[in-house]
Amino acid sequence: MKIAINGSSLLHTTKTGVELYVKSLLENIKDLPQQKDFDFILYYPAFLGELDKSWVEKFPENWQFKAVKWPIKYFWTQLALAWQLWKDKPDVFFAPAHVIPALYKGKAVMTIHDLAFKYFKNAYSSKELRYQEWAIQSAKKKNSYFIVPSQTTFNDLHKFYNIDKENIALVYHGFAAQKFTIDKNKASLILDKYGLQGQRYFLSVGRVENKKNTLGAIKAFEALLDKYEYKDLHLVLVGKGGYGFENIRKAVAKSKYKEKIHLLGYLPNQDVSALLLNAYAFVFPSFYEGFGFPILEAMSCKIPVITSNYGVMAEIAEGSALLVDPKDQEAIVKAMRLYLEDKNSYDYYVKAGLEKYAEFTWQRASQETLLAFTNFFK
């Protein structure tokens, strides 16, 4: 079977969970014994540059990498890639992070990471809403197959689009904890830079926006300080601003605890590693996630987690984190307070988190992805 893959996300400069998924999945598929039964062609836009040569060289001979030329940065997927697919005639096209070209008529598999746009329409432009809706409806009309990273997204895809469950494969993402390492001296300098040396802090990593309930975390932190005296306690928020960020920024600026609330924006991996490895606890009462990498990242760094009691958050963290109703400010405060005052609970959830994150491996994810292809097209 010849599998064509859209690898354009590998050249994105800002790496998100989706880009991590594509890179990690491909790196692990190449090491599987059964991958030799397939031929892979990975396409990417020439105008975005070249793939890392040392990375490409790690792949076996049954992998090809093609830079597809196109004179402009628009319509590469819909026109340039579609044309290349027509010429190469693969058995299957795999879209791990993008859409299936409208002009492509062959068999296809598409990863749907989440259906957040169905729940948070205000966070998307009308153009983005139409495009995401079209992408799934178009794939469904082509009788495509789908891979999803959670039971939550599996259920949503069936619920909103009535897609046959036999056409959906649930493949949980993997997770590689080893990237969160840093020299102690470097970590100390980073903590100094952000004024956090010697301080206890709750940390949240992810887009700073309404969907993540960032404001809810801030209000709970303020309520905690109103009720109890924790003079050395801080709240650190790491991530790019998303929908609702301006209101969040204003809320922090007006807060009587603004000196203790740190909006740090998007940070390099080294800084994130230092902050994760030195955090007291992780607070992530998100309203919606496609998977929830930040939860596993925190667990791997031996910090206990507070997250939401429904959706994929509960799906991956149940039994290994404190689960709270994200709309219940007092519940978040109580969870924070428990970690601050009850060492037995703190230690229990640190241990439970370490056991939980170890269940999610990219080797397993890559095996199940290839198995899904085999099952889809048997």
Give the domain ranges of the chain.
2-174+361-376, 177-357
Q: Would you say the CATH fold of 177-357 matches that of 2-174+361-376?
A: yes
Cα–Cα distance for residue pair 280/269, rounded to 1 Å:
19
Cα–Cα distance for residue pair 274/191, rounded to 1 Å:
7
Outline where DSSP puts E strands in 243-324. 261-265, 281-284, 305-308, 322-324
- Per-residue DSSP letter, 79: I
Work out whether the CA dihedral 295, 282, 268, 289 comes out positive or negative: positive
Measured CA to CA in angstroms, residue 280 lies from 122, 305, 339, 351 at distances of 33, 10, 9, 14
CATH class of the region 177-357: alpha beta
Please say whether the beta carbons of 239 and 276 come within 8 A: no
CATH 3.30.460.10 at 2-174+361-376, yes or no: no
Cα–Cα distance for residue pair 197/188, rounded to 1 Å:
7
Provide the residue-wise pLDDT of the chain in tens; the chain has 378 residues. Answer: 999 999 999 987 666 778 889 999 999 999 999 999 999 999 999 999 999 999 999 999 999 999 999 998 889 999 999 999 999 999 999 999 989 999 999 999 999 999 999 999 998 999 999 999 999 999 999 999 999 999 999 999 999 999 999 999 999 999 886 667 788 899 999 999 999 999 999 999 999 999 999 999 999 999 999 999 898 999 999 999 999 999 999 999 999 999 999 999 999 989 999 999 999 999 999 999 989 899 999 999 999 999 999 999 999 999 999 999 999 999 999 999 999 999 999 999 999 999 999 999 999 999 999 999 999 987
Please say whether the beta carbons of 157 and 139 come within 8 A: no
Whole-structure pTM value: 0.90
